[in-house]
Structure 1
Amino acid sequence: MTDSPYAARESGPVAMRPSRVLERIRAGKVARSLKMNTVDPRAVEIFASAGPDVIWLCMEHVGAGWTELEHQIRAARLYGVDTAIRVSRGSYSDYVRGLELDASGLIVPHVMGAEDAREVRDMTKFAPLGRRAVDGGNADARFTRVALADYMAQANSERFVLHQIEDPEGLDQIERIASIDGVDGLLFGPGDYSIRLGIPGQIDHEEVEAARVAVAKVARKHGKIAATVCSQADVARHADLGYNFLNVGADVLALSRYADAAVEAFGDL
């Protein structure tokens, strides 16, 4: 007797949904990301209908639950748009649940060194790359319709994990992190990095800029995704630095700016 959902389904032609982000990056283009701080799937649908490659969802700083994330992932999928979840740091279940809901990627915050990166890799990649536990009865494996061997191989090749470099400790070991097989990409976080340097918010400071340049250079040297955040006006400059995954803006920025402009339109009436 077995509890494996694969007991009666060991082969079949069904494949996992491919990643739009990885397809674009493999074609030599820049993946376009928009970030959500709200948890309403309708907001995701509005953003996805604009045609980005990925919607960045967040559990690190947002009180989103798994069911809310599931609806957001489904809303993005209506338009063929990937989702990437910035997870809370925790056990392997805190990472793989998002993948099993059919998110295309994970963003793991505050990766502090090579050993930390290796542990994340082991929890999020199937053998032979890592030690991820298998279920297969969820949306990513089409509810057992993807054969086990195919599922494991495709989950390793069509899903991505970005290791967030936002501390001096992580930057000190960036070469070692980027050289690890199964680390798909590095994401530079200028905000927290500036705070760790004691210059909060000065994301254009020369020390932050040096780290920004280093992350892109090392990631691309090792054939990994180079990701970060930037403004609309700064997209081309970051692409020139070598970044091939850029997040521009967030829903809360759009909403707050629109609300401010709407109220200001009344003037002194």
Structure 2
Amino acid sequence: MPKQTFKEKLDSGQFLLGTWSQSASPENLEIIGYAGFDYTIIDTEHGYFGLETAENLVRAAEAANISPLVRVELNAANLVLKALDIGAEGVVVPQITNEQEAAQAISYARYYPDGSRGACPCIRAGKHYVQDWSHYATKANREAIIVLLIEGREGIANIEPILNTPGVNAIMIGPFDLSVSLGVGGQLDHPLVIDFMRDTIALCKSRNIHIFVPNFDLDLEQARAAIDAWADLGATLFTVGTDKLFFAHHMQHIKQSIRGD
């Protein structure tokens, strides 16, 4: 049975669960895939590695049947291009604050005539020119997911213009960042936060735009309750923790359980 692409997963409307890969470990990423996660975001912004390492992490994701996205360091043409060239099914572009930046990120990820992505047939994503490149280019324009990461006050204030940018297919808003921007830092259940998320989810649905909601709560009952609450509002895409966060937490728990300190 052919592997389901990340776009196909998104378009199905099913509940999708992912995490962040911040360690430069193909083995860790394979474990995430074998555990049944739908996708992972390979984090080259906060992970201590670059796209050369990310390429092997993408290979590990493919081997473990999990969709790889790459968070790039900046909204820059060469970084978006290379992340897609190595085979990522999408890119997460940080610090989007307005529609001009949103349009830039989208253009960087699309080949002419839809955008300005540099074209080369001898790239890993296009099977190194062993297969027909024009077929790959058409497929890439149709299927590559560009996740606009809206993290600050300016981006929150410009949410509607950003969503109205032609070609937007996905956004991510961190509830904690949102609470800070709204002046209620850390109060994730504050009415201002809930109302904004509800309104944003509705705006996204009306425009057929996907919205990712990250969660970093190590209390799994609280994490599940928060995710259930966002799902009740209509969100379907969630991340939990990071590989490093889970490893650190479980190692600490094991040590405390064995030594009692």
TM-score, structure 2 length as denominator?
0.88
Task: Look up the equivalent residue of 2:152 and give its one-letter code.
Answer: D
Residue in structure 2 matched with residue 236 of structure 1 by the alignment? 228
Q: How does 1:1-269 map to 2 (within 5 A)?
A: 20-230=5-215, 231-268=223-260
Shift of the 228–86 alpha-carbon distance from structure 1 to 2, 3 Å rule, reads same
Determine the C-alpha separation between the residues in 1 that align with 2:198 and 2:104. 26
Please report how far the alpha carbon of residue 102 of structure 1 lies from its aligned counterpart in structure 2 after TM superposition: 0.3
- CA-based RMSD of the aligned residues comes to 2.1
Of Structure 1 and Structure 2, the greater helix share is in 2
Please report how far the alpha carbon of residue 195 of structure 1 lies from its aligned counterpart in structure 2 after TM superposition: 3.5
Runs of 4 or more above 6 Å deviation: none
Shift of the 260–268 alpha-carbon distance from structure 1 to 2, 3 Å rule, reads closer
Task: Look up the equivalent residue of 2:162 and give its one-letter code.
Answer: I
| Larger mean Cα displacement after TM superposition, 224-233 or 192-201 | 192-201
Q: Percent identity?
A: 23
Determine the C-alpha separation between the residues in 1 that align with 2:92 and 2:187. 23
Shift of the 25–101 alpha-carbon distance from structure 1 to 2, 3 Å rule, reads same
| Larger mean Cα displacement after TM superposition, 198-207 or 140-149 | 198-207
| Larger mean Cα displacement after TM superposition, 189-198 or 64-73 | 189-198
Determine the C-alpha separation between the residues in 2 that align with 1:35 and 1:255. 12
Shift of the 122–181 alpha-carbon distance from structure 1 to 2, 3 Å rule, reads same
Determine the C-alpha separation between the residues in 2 that align with 1:113 and 1:29. 29
Task: Look up the equivalent residue of 2:140 and give its one-letter code.
Answer: A
Determine the C-alpha separation between the residues in 2 that align with 1:170 and 1:228. 16
8 Å CA contact 2:98–2:154 kept in 1: the answer is yes
Determine the C-alpha separation between the residues in 1 that align with 2:94 and 2:195. 20
**Structure 2 runs not aligned, ≥5 long:** 216-222
Aligned-partner SS, 1:62 = coil
- Which structure has more relative contact order (CA 8 Å, sep 6+)? It is 1
8 Å CA contact 2:58–2:88 kept in 1: the answer is yes
Determine the C-alpha separation between the residues in 2 that align with 1:76 and 1:135. 23
Please report how far the alpha carbon of residue 32 of structure 1 lies from its aligned counterpart in structure 2 after TM superposition: 1.8
Determine the C-alpha separation between the residues in 2 that align with 1:18 and 1:163. 25
Q: Deviations over 1:24-51 (max 9, x none)?
A: 2212212221212211111101111112
Please report how far the alpha carbon of residue 184 of structure 1 lies from its aligned counterpart in structure 2 after TM superposition: 1.3
Aligned residues: 253
TM-score, structure 1 length as denominator?
0.86
**Structure 1 runs not aligned, ≥5 long:** 1-16
Please report how far the alpha carbon of residue 268 of structure 1 lies from its aligned counterpart in structure 2 after TM superposition: 5.0
Task: Look up the equivalent residue of 1:265 and give its one-letter code.
Answer: S
| Larger mean Cα displacement after TM superposition, 192-201 or 49-58 | 192-201
